[in-house]
Chains A and B, each alone.
Chain A
Amino acid sequence: MRTHPSWRLLQADSAPLIISFLYKSFILTNKRSIAAETLATQLDDYLHHLRETTGEKRFPRKGRDYLNDWASGEQGYLRKYYPAASVGDEPLFDLTPSTEKVIEWISGFEQKQFVGTESRLLTVFRLLSEIASDTETDPQQRIDRLEQEKAKLEQEIASLKSGHIMPHDPTRVKEKFLQAEDTARQLLSDFRQVEENFRHLDRDVRERITTASSGKGKMLDDIFSEQDAITESDQGRSFKAFWSWLMSRASQDELQATLEKVLALPEVQSLQHDELLSRIRFRLLEAGEKVNSTCAQLVEQLRRYLDDQAWLENRRIMEIVREIEQSAIAVRQSPPADKLFTTLSLNKPALEMPMSRGLFRPASRPVISETPEEGEADFDTTALYTQHYVDERALLARIRFALQSRPQISLAELVKLHPVEKGLSEVVAYLHIASESDHALVDSDSSEEIIWHDAQGRQKEAVMPVVIFTR
């Protein structure tokens, strides 16, 4: 258990930092994966924020270094990977399932509004009776069951017809809704595990094939039986069923309609819930799509690897490479000096057309003999001199956005939310906005420090009067 990545994460000295940061970046925003550069910037901001607020000097390194550390073999809190070439070259980060488990468990520390026990009991009971009836082989037993259900339904219809409408129980509605939300969240987090399981299957198959010492006929047999190992596993089938359900128009519409109806219920609206369920359709599609592409990619690579010719060639190559390495070590101190040790036939025909080379042309040396006339500007030339263009409207938008969640904000706080990009001129622009606005206050009696980084990454700071923007 000590070697389990989840346990190691909990034991890590910087566990609170890692967990809180990853929670903020991945879980709160529901991102499946984040580009390395973006995540590193986020971490830098976060670390900066920590140093500012707690004065801690514990995390002196760059965000990028921490991320690479967390993604390296022995830690394994994050998975760093390169997307398909058609997507781009920048590496991406994703949570590992074990990290997600830790985060999920820790977020469970928060006191729940209330813990519904009834609906869970009913769910357990319903699942069990479904299994029992699905596996029942005696037709009479099944008929009896169905008859029972029919009688119950008829009774209900009769009571509705006679004008008896049972009012629904608000507690039960809330309870069920919270349970649905919980399950949905778990479902989303399970996708990372599903992906990981696919990768495990892939590795297992490869390992078995690499270590197999059987003859070629036997090996081919294995290959063909393993060809579909991934898609035909329990994991693969369950996922396929999920995906085809999600991809069908009818079930999507049904899900959406049901959701809208449920979310409009007053009981549900009285609950403090996030927007997870209302967007669950897109979240599921997004998460499923990622699993799907991982799976397709793994199957494709596995097929390539299983190509028997390549397999035999790979074995031969490894043998030869080992010999080459031994010889190369032996001659290490006096390697062959020739420029030409081997030759390689490249895949590119060498074409050189003499006519495509330019002919000699004497270089022309232009001499300016006329003096240009001095013209007069018939337009506003200030645009030419405002080299550092700062878009005040963008700054205003930032201020407005920040004020949505609070009655007032100081410039220092604002700069922490939106790091200064254009240097001092941007800070001055804020000052300009403040001086012209009725909803801003410049307190010259106290001062605060504004910090930003210039294009070379050097830290710059300015001490200036406290500027406060209000609604």
Chain B
Amino acid sequence: MNTNTQSEHSTSDDPALGTVVVNLMKGVVYRDLNPDVWQQLEELHARVIDYVAVMGLNLIVDEAEGYAYLKQVSDEERSVPKLIARRPLSFPISLLCVLLRKKMVEQDAGGGEARLILTREQIVEMMRVFLPDRANEARLFDQIDTYINKVAEFGFLKKLNTNPPAWEVRRIIKALVDADWLADFNEKLKVYRDHAESSV
């Protein structure tokens, strides 16, 4: 980075920096979906890092996967109030995240297709093994739909404009549902299982 150009511009009058930061504040920036912003991000990389650091945020750029997002600095010593909240997840929604993450690993190992795309039926099949038996199948479908919508809200699933509609699993799920998170979830579930089995 050229330090001269940095001192020439004051932060507030550079529209490109604004564009990049605002896009990041709104969510994940993907190279394939937003090539212009991505390019600006690459050019302004160092300045974006400095800028978001003020708010206690870290810029994470994954070149290989082609996405960038902001992460809360985990440093306990800094007393900046947290901007990124931890979202509570119910058990079935967590489980759906786990299963989608698994699908992504399987897809990567299998090779070939660039995008992981699932139909509603595939997601239902994937989930129903783990849900309590219910006589009412329609209700089960509806319920899984609400889970899907919730996970789509997180940005892990994107509805495709196809007929019938299908869902694309976005690669950002790799960054957030990582091995550590899964290990944590696994522990919690084990504790619950022990508890449930002992109380029977």
Cα(A310)–Cα(B108), bound, Å? 10
For the complex, is A325 an interface residue (Cβ under 8 Å from B)?
yes
For the complex, is B139 an interface residue (Cβ under 8 Å from A)?
no
A341 and B163 form a contact (CB under 8 A): no
For A332, the chain B residues whose CB sits under 8 A away are: 130-132
Most buried by B among A37, A318, A321: A321
For B90, the chain A residues whose CB sits under 8 A away are: 338-341
A202 and B32 form a contact (CB under 8 A): no
For B15, the chain A residues whose CB sits under 8 A away are: none
Q: Given A338-B91, A349-B83, are A318 and B102 neighbors across the interface (CB < 8 Å)? A: yes
For the complex, is A86 an interface residue (Cβ under 8 Å from B)?
yes
A89 and B105 form a contact (CB under 8 A): no
Q: Given A85-B32, A338-B91, A348-B84, are A327 and B183 neighbors across the interface (CB < 8 Å)? A: no
Interchain pairs with CB closer than 8 A, number:
195
The interface size bin for chain A is 35 or more
For the complex, is B182 an interface residue (Cβ under 8 Å from A)?
yes
A324-381 interface (Cβ within 8 A of B): 324-325, 327-351
Q: Mark B114-131, 1 if CB is under 8 A from A, else 0.
A: 110100000000000111
Q: Mark B148-178, 1 if CB is under 8 A from A, else 0.
A: 0000001100001111000010001011111
For A228, the chain B residues whose CB sits under 8 A away are: none
Cα(A306)–Cα(B200), bound, Å? 47
Cα(A327)–Cα(B191), bound, Å? 10
Q: Given A84-B32, A86-B32, are A313 and B162 neighbors across the interface (CB < 8 Å)? A: no
For the complex, is B1 an interface residue (Cβ under 8 Å from A)?
no
For the complex, is A406 an interface residue (Cβ under 8 Å from B)?
no
Q: How many residues on chain B are close to A (CB under 8 Å)?
A: 75
A82 and B105 form a contact (CB under 8 A): no
Cα(A184)–Cα(B26), bound, Å? 52
A84 and B114 form a contact (CB under 8 A): yes
For B83, the chain A residues whose CB sits under 8 A away are: 349-351
B189 and A331 form a contact (CB under 8 A): yes
For A303, the chain B residues whose CB sits under 8 A away are: 64
B115 and A85 form a contact (CB under 8 A): yes
For the complex, is B46 an interface residue (Cβ under 8 Å from A)?
no
Chain A residue at minimum C-beta to C-beta distance from B154 = A346
A335 and B132 form a contact (CB under 8 A): yes
For the complex, is B133 an interface residue (Cβ under 8 Å from A)?
yes
For the complex, is B113 an interface residue (Cβ under 8 Å from A)?
yes
Chain A residue at minimum C-beta to C-beta distance from B171 = A304
Partner of A344, one of B27, B57, B154, B196: B154
For B133, the chain A residues whose CB sits under 8 A away are: 333
Partner of B94, one of A81, A342, A346: A342
A307-326 interface (Cβ within 8 A of B): 307, 310, 313-314, 316-318, 320-321, 323-325
Partner of A305, one of B108, B130, B185, B193: B108
Cα(A346)–Cα(B177), bound, Å? 10
For the complex, is A107 an interface residue (Cβ under 8 Å from B)?
no
A317 and B92 form a contact (CB under 8 A): no
For A91, the chain B residues whose CB sits under 8 A away are: 117, 162
A sample of 14 cross-chain residue pairs with beta-carbon separation below 8 angstroms, ordered by A number, consists of: A36-B162, A82-B114, A85-B33, A85-B115, A85-B168, A314-B105, A324-B189, A342-B185, A344-B86, A345-B71, A347-B155, A347-B175, A348-B26, A348-B69
